[in-house]
Amino acid sequence: MNILDNKRQLFKLAAVASLLTLLGCSDSSEDKANEPAFQINANPFPSTYKPIPSKSVLITNATILDGIGGIFNNSSVLLQDGKIVAIGNDLSLPDDGVTVDAKGKWVTPGIIDVHSHLGVYPAPGGTAHSDGNEATNPVTAEVWAEHSIWPQDAGFQRALAGGVTVMQILPGSANLVGGRGVTVKNLPGTTVQDMKFPDAPYGMKMACGENPKRVYGKKGGPSTRMGNVAGYRQAWADAQNYQRTWDNYYADHEAGKKDAKIPKRDLKLETLALALKGEILVHMHCYRADDMATMLDVMKEFNYKIAAFHHAVEAYKIADQLAEAEVCSAMWADWWGFKLEAYDGIQENIPMVHAAKACTIVHSDSDLGIQRLNQEAAKAWANGRRAGIDISQADAWQWLSANPAKSLGIFEQTGSLETGKNADVVIWSADPFSTYAQAEHVYLDGALIYDRNDPASWPVSDFELGQPGEGDSK
């Protein structure tokens, strides 16, 4: 072979190599176009809650409030496989089941508290345990209350003794946007994930009025109510723009554009954007009627939904607006006057909001109040009746179970004694609207987790074990 033939051979080999390279590039580009779009993990901290195995339970001869306005006298309720089977008489119990005679006693759904700080402000109190407010910026939507919860807080067990089976634990109210709240089942756990209500939507805590401007007035603002509102609006506007960048990315990817660029994640705006879409439920600390009305306007401007105003001391002044907007009010029976925006409270607030056909909730915001929420509801019910507002006890119990469940997005699972729902049930020693009534038995998903007559079975937090008090009996 001469030199010319060698050159020709080399040229052919080079041409083949170039062609293969081009084909490889084509395949690579095609592969890239076929790659699935980048997806954000919406639940990076999933629940690990597992119901305690339980036998079937037939509770008989009780007065039963079903949580949605019904009352059944001298009746029975059957719990099986962790669910409510039926309310009625002549119900069949499996051979290995347990019958509980509740003659003279009352049965209700478990109490749900939509506003708790257990675990984020746990007992014993102290600076080292003060993990409820990330007071470093007026908008901290990126923080999650579950990352502050101390499951050993003894308050969980005290709440259980008061008939509380589910609660939403929220950040505090220092910030315009305080971060995500989490719904938990009141079952002792080593980690918060052990307590986390499976598939419950996240909440997002917001606050209006005095608190944010007091905290940030000397830190660069906001220092006024108008500054507060400007802060909410800018946060929502930023979240809208952030969502557009992701929408554009997904549209470009769907169109097969090779230059579709994955946006940079922003955890703050991510939470806000999910709230705009209704996937995270907004819970807003707000006292005055004018503040709540302003927030309803902002809600309409940015097309999001407020699940509930919390505290809502002046809700009675705008109850018709709240009913029209389908926004719940979570309130106290008679706690007000401790600051100027909480000045104009009345004892008839809760029944007046109920009478306007607005969603009405009794909440605690207190490690003590959560132990006696049945008494809080009883006070409000009695105050309404004295004012001529005729509300039945069966309807009033909705303030403690069904309506809280609706505001938390878990009413399909709990909040009433309807067939197929979680068997979260309390047996009371007497009419639960009596000061003397006590929660005797508390069931969570059909399992007996509290028996007042058996102190040895009471849950005790790891922190209390071996310490004077309830811990020294274990």
- CA torsion through residues 413, 414, 419, 423, sign: positive
Residues 6 or more apart in contact with residue 49 via CB below 8 angstroms: 185, 187, 189, 193, 194, 195, 196, 197, 198
User: Residue 184 to residues 29, 191, 448: CA-CA distances in angstroms?
Assistant: 47, 11, 17
Around Cβ 82, how many Cβ atoms within 10 Å?
18
Each residue of 188-223: pLDDT tens digit?
A: 999 999 999 999 999 999 999 999 999 999 999 999
* Phi, psi (degrees; rounded to nearest 5) at 50: -130, 125
Model confidence at 34, in pLDDT bands (50, 70, 90)? low
Distance CA 376, CA 388 (A): 19
Each residue of 85-137: pLDDT tens digit?
A: 999 999 999 999 999 999 999 999 999 999 999 999 998 888 888 999 999 99
Confidence at residue 232, expressed as pLDDT on a 0 to 100 scale: 99
Each residue of 278-337: pLDDT tens digit?
A: 999 999 999 999 999 999 999 999 999 999 999 999 999 999 999 999 999 999 999 999
Domains of the chain with bracketed CATH:
52-106+418-474 (2.30.40.10), 111-414 (3.20.20.140)
Each residue of 435-463: b (16+ CB within 10 Å) or e? eebebbbbbbbbbbbbeeeeeeebbbbeb
**Residue 80 confidence (pLDDT) above 90:** yes
The answer to whether the beta carbons of residues 342 and 173 sit under 8 Å apart is no
Please measure the distance between the N-terminal and C-terminal CA atoms of the chain and give it in whole angstroms.
Answer: 97
Distance CA 417, CA 405 (A): 12
Model confidence at 344, in pLDDT bands (50, 70, 90)? very high
Confidence at residue 5, expressed as pLDDT on a 0 to 100 scale: 55
The answer to whether the beta carbons of residues 177 and 215 sit under 8 Å apart is no
**Residue 3 confidence (pLDDT) above 80:** no
Distance CA 64, CA 307 (A): 29
Nearest to 384 by CA among 350, 435, 424, 345: 350
Q: What's at 51, amino acid-wise?
A: P
**Which parts of 262-411 are beta strand (E)?**
280-286, 306-311, 328-331, 360-362
The answer to whether the beta carbons of residues 164 and 112 sit under 8 Å apart is yes
| Three state DSSP letters for 83-112 | EEEEEECCCCCCCCCEEEECCCCEEEECEE
- pTM of the full predicted structure? 0.92
Confidence at residue 12, expressed as pLDDT on a 0 to 100 scale: 56
Residues in the chain: 474
Confidence at residue 19, expressed as pLDDT on a 0 to 100 scale: 46
The answer to whether the beta carbons of residues 432 and 372 sit under 8 Å apart is no
Model confidence at 32, in pLDDT bands (50, 70, 90)? low
Mean pLDDT across the chain? 93
Confidence at residue 26, expressed as pLDDT on a 0 to 100 scale: 47
Distance CA 342, CA 338 (A): 6
